[in-house]
Structure 1
């Protein structure tokens, strides 16, 4: 998108896992629906209800989550971070930053490793806003963390205390 800066590369691993899960779960869902065709009365009604629930929970929900991951794009410029999700666009200028928080989790191994950077500040309309940049959506956090390091060096108050500084420094050293 023009004028938004450079897009951080999307992370597609989780999207592909969700798509594969939807395809795999389509098989037992189709079997249940096919079995309902051969039944009558209460048994058929129960099987059709079970098929409907399986379609929603095991096929539609993973597909919708995969779609939302695919539609979310994060852009980094010299002046701001912009997150575009579908038609929604949220921008936070570095000059308007009030707080930076880094959180990370390694539950689920390397595939589900998740670092999050919370950028808290004021939007161009003066409203308090939080933009979250998560490794669930981007392949690498390093460009953002390096840009934030410049801001943090100039304004150490963006990190609230030594613990936040340790989290930030750890993420800067170790994040992919």
Structure 2
């Protein structure tokens, strides 16, 4: 008798929980199966961002797995992105001269990268996703080679922004 009660309770929970609106798997629109990433535009003075951001967007779409990444000619939708802003800020300071107490230089920085993106279905005038802005941030240390530290920080911020683009698009229905 106890087994029948447990089975009835389990069946009841399945029926009740099945109607809560939860989904397993991709949250994408069922008619959109493939995506392409158009060349990225850079509207900042920071160099080498276009290829880097496009590669990271492609990587994030492949990791996400909701859509198959294909060429623009075969895609159900195309992501157009442009980098609109890159900002740096000092996070922490270090003493520069051991003999003087008044000379400090920043040794840790924060970078914020802003990407505006839209998604277009080829052949349609109205965008699938109108222009949206996302940001990515990262902290980095300058170390002995300040340019390498800066480039790595920008790459980390671009990765974070790319992750936000993909999740905003694939989960934003």
Q: TM range, normalised to the smaller chain?
A: under 0.3
- TM-score, normalised on structure 2? 0.26
Larger helix proportion of the pair: 1
Higher-Rg structure is 2
- TM-score, normalised on structure 1? 0.25
